[in-house]
Amino acid sequence: MTTAAYKSGVIEVAENVYAFIQENCATNAGFIVSDEGVMVIDSLMTPTLAGRLYAAVRNVTKAPIRFLINTHFHGDHVFGNQYFLPAPIVAHANCRDELMEKFDGNMQRYRARTELIPELDQIKMTLPDVTFEDRMSIRLGDREIQLSFHGRAHSNSDILLYLPEEKLLFVADLAVNKTLPAFPDGHITKWLTVLEEVAKFDADTFVPGHGPVGDRSDFDDAVELLSLLNTEIRRGFDGGLSEEDTVKQVNVGRFADFAGQDRVGLITRMAYLAYRGELR
Ligand SMILES: [Zn+2]
């Protein structure tokens, strides 16, 4: 399955607000610039990628990096943390815990791609040091950035960054674009509940953790796709089918050209655990 080409690189999504968009639905990041400094949103996975992100910031501004945000604990978003010190690292309290407790598993997942091992060997666990529970507001210059947590979803530490003036949301992996979502920690039914909350934000621009910058219709697609997956998998579960048989009958309909079609197996396994009440 090939991913359709889309606009990648550094994209100014609002004045002084940038999305760092990778090709092929690899991991995205972002940064917000003011005269007083810069907020970087996620640090990517390897020294090379973190270096590219840092260079992209420096290409726009020489202002100091004031804050690094971690949108959730997955290594492809946060293993580059050490390269943005001494900026404080801001995240949900669960992100610090998950990053610490699941560090080895988190790392092993990416080490399966053996060409990455020399880079991953350079990563030191670098934890968020400013954490919050439900909401936090950060002022950067004259801009307000609202951080919020809405519950277990793609992980147990997914946060949103909302720019109310710009009607812009950094949704990270809560709503990826043009790809099936990654599910190593996903709780499908709780995730759908969280997305009902995300949908209430007055936003026109959505910067996803994977895939191109989107608008409201792209966000709605992400919700519809997850809802469709839940319906399809639940039908198999309720019909007493094995996971293997359910995987064979899942039909993603108009989303068949999205990337990540090989994720249906893991999504089904995690959904079965969720339906049985076996996921925390
Ligand atoms: Zn993730």
Per-residue pLDDT of the chain (280 residues; tens, 9 = 90+): 456 789 999 999 999 999 999 999 999 999 999 999 999 999 999 999 999 999 999 999 999 999 999 999 999 999 999 999 999 999 999 999 999 999 999 999 999 999 999 999 999 999 999 999 999 999 999 999 999 999 999 999 999 999 999 999 999 999 999 999 999 999 999 999 999 999 999 999 999 999 999 999 999 999 999 999 999 999 999 999 999 999 999 999 999 999 999 999 999 999 999 999 999 7
Domain containing 65: what range? 9-275
Q: Ligand 1 centroid vs 72 CA: distance in angstroms?
A: 7
Gyration radius from the chain CA atoms: 18
Q: Ligand 1 centroid vs 182 CA: distance in angstroms?
A: 7
CATH classification of the domain holding 231: 3.60.15.10
Q: Ligand 1 centroid vs 276 CA: distance in angstroms?
A: 23
Q: Ligand 1 centroid vs 240 CA: distance in angstroms?
A: 30
pTM value is 0.96
The span from the CA of 227 to the CA of 15, in Å, is 34
Buried b (16+ CB within 10 A) or exposed e, 37-59: bbbbbbbbbbbebbebbbebbee
Structure tokens at 218: 């792209």
Q: Is residue 2 in a domain?
A: no
How many domains does one find in the chain? 1
Q: Ligand 1 centroid vs 70 CA: distance in angstroms?
A: 11
- Among 212, 223, 215, CA closest to 259: 212
Q: Ligand 1 centroid vs 4 CA: distance in angstroms?
A: 21
Q: Ligand 1 centroid vs 128 CA: distance in angstroms?
A: 16
Q: Ligand 1 centroid vs 127 CA: distance in angstroms?
A: 16
Structure tokens at 45: 């996975």
Structure tokens at 124: 């030191």
Terminal Cα distance for the chain, rounded: 33
Q: Is residue 52 in a domain?
A: yes
pLDDT at 8: 97
The span from the CA of 69 to the CA of 140, in Å, is 13
Helix (H) or strand (E) holding 172: strand 168-172
Q: Ligand 1 centroid vs 142 CA: distance in angstroms?
A: 30
**Which SS3 state, helix, strand or coil, does residue 218 take?**
helix
